[in-house]
A and B are shown apart, each in its own frame.
Chain A
Amino acid sequence: MTLAAQAPIFDVGGDNLGTIGIRVVVLPRKADAHDMFADTDEPSDLSPDELLSEVGPSPIASYLERPKTGRLCCVFLVNGQRQEALDNAFIVQHLGFKYLRKRMMIIVDVDGLRPEYLGELMQGSRQHFYQGRVWEAISSRLIATP
């Protein structure tokens, strides 16, 4: 695999903010997963030397920040680091996928934004994006993506 194949497109021309990359992952319901793997509450990809997961309420529980209470299932990344995250209310209210809310993760890579717009988003705390016009544009694009 080449870097070009992975890289977001930076120069798309015209009056735009740049691009975002989106990946959506939906895992099987727990019952389905158990049928497939005849496993317990551990994720099937658990390697032998990995920490045991806690019992989670959904198939994505062990991929959240805190398996028992975490709901940050929609993440926004800069250089692979989470800089903003939303809980599954976003999936229900804005995407309309009520029945996927416990199984869906959305990964949004914003490295393709033009540097000046990325600079508007980033905060010194590195824990949230500034909820201004660039954020609104990203959210709108995400909601509108078919």
Chain B
Amino acid sequence: MTTTKSSPSLDSPDLLLTLLSLKTTGDVETLLSRLPVVDDTAYLWTDTDPAKGWHAGMLHWVPVGRDRGNAGRIQLAGDPYNPSAERLVNGMEAIIELMRRTELLENPEAPMPQSPREAVERYFRLPRLDMIPRTKDKEHRRALEETLRDVRRQLILRLEFDKKLKEFAVEIRDRGIGQPPARIHETLLSLGRTDKAEKPYLIGVFGQGGSSTYAASKYSLVVSRRPAQFLDGTPDGIGWTIVKKVIPKGRRDPYYAYLASLPDGRVPSIAIDNSRVNEFAPGTLFRHIGYDFGRQGSAVARTLFYALNHVLFNPVLPYDLYALKDKPDPMHGTAYRLARQTAQLASKGDKSHLDKPFQPQMVV
């Protein structure tokens, strides 16, 4: 069993700041060496008896989704860009869900939006984003652009690169509904267990798309906090964990595991009376450390801009991209960028371009 050099308390006031400062694999490994963590070879989780071999007060590696065969459902992406896009979509859903829950607090009878687009129009007064550059009325367009700017700040993707270690970190931070610590293992760390299908205003279906980021990273830090008014009777606090790939010795079935504090899979948490708690506003942070883009340097930042705009071609919500710089690129999708281009061409009297929508076409 690997434990502790100085064994800091899991509820130490500075633990949150330490977690939020993790940027490289070295940072994570240093922290893991100081925390009371049972080695992944000393505890093997089983669904029939997860408490067997558990050491109370210690952290243990538990399979994501509490499924030892999870690699097949996590290693799904064929390139490094799609997983980040999936995480952004998760963030958009968390923001929409927060608005829906807020609406229900004020009016429990409020009808459910029937699509993500309807939810965004209702809660943010935003149309489909590619319609904004096509809005003829200048005042209205300006107002929509201002709304876009405000909404973008609620969802951020930040790319960082450690030149010395040649390591990327990709952080996706949303100011959405977040999760209470007691539910993180059933939600953010679940696979294929989702209530999204009952909520037509959300986007995902399979409940596992964002998990593909684990496969692209050496370690993933997960931190989440739910606004106090939406705790649904669960204890307040900031839940956190770290995800890594485990390759059991002598076997060829790797799996992805996270640090759990209890055999039922619950993650460690930082109590709400912790003096540092306000360093983390409600919402969720995923920081994927040692992210494998296949290449290095500023070319990755450039490709990320184009690739994300292409994958999230006409996203339901905008977001900000900080790609190796302190100033964000506003991200509205390629459909918006094309619409802006054609609107400019039209305003200059160009006759050689075309921007033609067709009536909905029936498919038989």
Chain A contact residues, CB within 8 Å of chain B: 1, 3, 6-9, 12, 15-29, 32, 36-37, 43-45, 47, 49-51, 54, 62-67, 70, 72, 75, 77, 79-82, 85, 105, 107, 109, 111-113, 117, 119, 122, 124-127, 134, 137-138, 141-142, 145
Are B135 and A1 touching (Cβ within 8 A)? yes
Q: How many Å lie between the Cα of A32 and that of B306 in the bound state? A: 24
Residues of B within 8 A of A28 (CB): 345, 350, 352-353
* Interface residue range, chain B: 35 or more
Q: How many Å lie between the Cα of A15 and that of B335 in the bound state? A: 31
Q: Distance in Å from the Cβ of B64 to the closest Cβ of chain A?
A: 15
Closest residue to B331 on the A side, CB-wise? A50
Residues of B within 8 A of A1 (CB): 127, 131, 135
Q: Distance in Å from the Cβ of B111 to the closest Cβ of chain A?
A: 14
Q: How many Å lie between the Cα of A123 and that of B261 in the bound state? A: 34
Closest residue to A124 on the B side, CB-wise? B206
Is B217 engaged at the interface, CB distance under 8 Å to the other chain?
Answer: no
Are B208 and A62 touching (Cβ within 8 A)? no
Q: Which of B117, B303, B327 lies in contact with A66, CB distance below 8 A?
A: B303
Interface contacts beyond A3-B118, A32-B352, A43-B341: sample of 17 additional A-B pairs, CB < 8 Å, sorted by A: A7-B117, A7-B118, A12-B362, A19-B360, A20-B360, A24-B356, A26-B354, A27-B353, A32-B350, A36-B348, A45-B340, A45-B344, A75-B313, A82-B311, A105-B338, A127-B76, A145-B358
Q: Which of A65, A126, A145 lies in contact with B86, CB distance below 8 A?
A: A126
Residues of B within 8 A of A111 (CB): 115
Q: 5 shortest A-B CB distances, which residue pairs? A: A80-B314, A19-B360, A65-B310, A26-B354, A28-B352
Q: Distance in Å from the Cβ of B211 to the closest Cβ of chain A?
A: 11
Residues in B194-223 with C-beta less than 8 Å from chain A: 203, 205-206, 208-209
Known: A24-B356, A75-B310, A124-B76. A80 touches B364 (CB 8 A): no
